[in-house]
Structure 1
Amino acid sequence: MFIEKEYFENWMQRLNLKLDEVVNKLDDSGEEIPLLDGEKLLDNYVVCRMLNVSKLTLQHYPEKKNHWFGLPGKTHI
């Protein structure tokens, strides 16, 4: 299946605008996101929502050699 280059570029532009809206909403939420060495730490709930996976699936990701690190009582990607 082939799509027109112009259609694809238009679609990508709309996608980028929507992603920018999501980022702005997160930035405007007033919730401070903790940082570790300048990188945002995300809790399991946020990671599950971002990846659109269940908590169980998220628990199996380390078995697949993904890089994780932990803090007391929390697991972060």
Structure 2
Amino acid sequence: MNIDRIEFNSWMERLMERFNLLDEKVKEIKTPNFEIDGEQLLDNQDVLQLLKISSRSLQRYRTSGKLPYYTISGKLYYKLSDVRQFIRDSFNRNSKKN
């Protein structure tokens, strides 16, 4: 089977469009955005990856009150703004030590 370059490019463009649509659908399914008061909520896994810490460290930050959290249906969530503030506070503490 022989196809010319124009037809091949057309097929490839349609194929790439389909891949892009599938990619968007997978992202929608994979990362549902939970919000409270119009603010994005992160789950434990999101925060662990964002801060690059262990689950034990995250537990310490919760129990010490350094990182506020919310329990919804038995699952822990964190407001994105609280996590960002925690990062700022941690950065400021470390800057003052040096």
Q: Under TM normalisation by the shorter chain, which class is it? A: 0.5 to 0.7
1:73 aligns with 2:69: no
Structure 2 unaligned blocks of 5 or more:
1-23, 79-98
Structure 1 unaligned blocks of 5 or more:
1-27
Q: What TM-score do you get using the length of structure 1 for normalisation? A: 0.55
Aligned to 2:64: 64
- Hey, which of these two has a bigger chunk of helix by percent? 2
Cα RMSD of the aligned pairs, angstroms, is 1.5
Q: Paired residues, what number? A: 50
Using the alignment, how far apart are the partners of 2:62 and 2:45 within structure 1? Answer: 16
Task: State the identity %.
Answer: 30
Using the alignment, how far apart are the partners of 2:34 and 2:63 within structure 1? Answer: 26
Q: What TM-score do you get using the length of structure 2 for normalisation? A: 0.45
Using the alignment, how far apart are the partners of 1:35 and 1:53 within structure 2? Answer: 23
